[in-house]
Amino acid sequence: MKRTLLLVFVLFSLLFATAYGSFADNFDDNSTYSPLWLPVSSGGPSVSEVNHRLEITIPATSVGGTFYAGYDPFSRIRGDFDVRVDYQLLTWPAGNEVRLGMMMFGDTIGYANMVRCSSTEELYIADFYGAPLPSPRVTTTDMSGKLRLTRQGTTIIGYYYQSGAWVSLYSKVVTNADLGVSLRAWSHDTIFPDKEAKVAFDNFQILQGSLVPAVPAIPEPSSLLALASGLMALGLVRRRLSSK
């Protein structure tokens, strides 16, 4: 029975992967596209889709080994991809030790994260699975900019944007597994100087890559019902996003 359910799920996945080549979310409707995105937060930070963008506040009172807020993915991206997002630093005191990032991660080992952070220097960092430490980085004065991750085969490349062009910061063989994309801001008790920071993401785009639902280990009937509902909702989402 479970094998049959799994087969149904795979067929759903293939149909879905075929149907969804690319999409964009400009956050202009000030409403989370559920189940495309899942708002997440821990330790005090908050996330809200307002002012036609995705705003994340890290209050001075935030606490935790890692505290964060942002959007996590409902879905995974399959195959070669090209994913981009704009960012703005709305409240950004020097040395605030907050990081914002666009992270690709999956259900197995392997991730890639393009980060903008404020530490003793203002930095772009490529935090990739298996990369040498300290992670590849470059200093910047940008208070707004763009982050991009692409994959060809198993090689992921992280970019930032400078003087009207994409600049490759780091390239590494990571994985060809399905990966979700997360937009988050975060910090850690051990380094956070208790200064509020506020950032925003905007104009999220998947220009290449097939979007597929996250695969549970063994789908149960209730999961399939939820999946069917999710696919129907995502169909509506796709039409809404395409109409923007």
In the bound state with Ca ion, the residue whose beta carbon lies nearer, of 81 and 201, is: 201
CA distances 155 to 147, 149, 170, Å, are 17, 10, 10
| Phi/psi at 13 (5° precision) | -65, -45
Single-letter residue type at 147: L
Residues 116, 89: Cα–Cα separation, whole Å:
10
**Shortest reach from residue 170's CB to Ca ion, in Å:** 28
- From 12-20, 117-125, 198-206, 212-220, span contacting Ca ion (CB under 5 A): 198-206
> How many other CB atoms are there within 10 angstroms of residue 113's CB atom?
22
How distant, in Å, are the alpha carbons of 49, 60, 103, 172 from that of 43?
A: 19, 11, 20, 32
Q: Which stretch binds Ca ion (CB under 5 A): 31-39, 105-113, 199-207, 216-224?
A: 199-207
Segment near Ca ion (CB under 5 A), from 3-11, 18-26, 187-195, 210-218? 18-26
Q: What angle do CA 63, 69, 75 make, to 5 degrees?
A: 145
Residue 189 in tokens: 């008790």
Q: Does 27 bind Ca ion (CB under 5 A)?
A: yes
Contact mark string toward Ca ion, 60..99, x via CB under 5 A: ----------------------------------------
Residue choice 8, 48, 52, 86 for contact with Ca ion (CB under 5 A): 52
Q: What residue spans of 92-204 are helical by DSSP H?
A: none
As measured in angstroms, the least distance from the Cβ of 135 to Ca ion is: 29
CA separation for the pair 157, 149 (Å, rounded): 6
Query: Which one of the spans 27-35, 58-66, 95-103, 174-182 is the region binding Ca ion (CB under 5 A)?
Result: 27-35
What is the Cα–Cα distance from 37 to 75, expressed in whole angstroms?
8
State in angstroms the smallest separation of the CB of 73 from Ca ion. 19
How many residues in the shown chain lie near Ca ion by CB under 5 A? 6
Shortest distance (Å) from residue 205 CB to Ca ion: 12
Among 22, 26, 135, 162, binds Ca ion (CB under 5 A): 26
**Which segment (7-15, 48-56, 58-66, 85-93) binds Ca ion by CB under 5 A?**
48-56
Cβ–Cβ < 8 Å for 71, 39? yes
Q: Exactly one of 16, 202, 210, 237 binds Ca ion (CB under 5 A); which one?
A: 202
**What is the distance between the alpha carbons of residues 117 and 122, in angstroms, rounded to a whole number?**
6
Dist CA 181 CA 184 (whole Å): 10
Smallest separation (angstroms) from Ca ion to the CB of 115: 21
Using CB under 5 A, which residues numbered 100 to 139 contact Ca ion?
none
Instruction: Tell me which residues touch Ca ion (CB under 5 A).
Output: 26-28, 52-53, 202
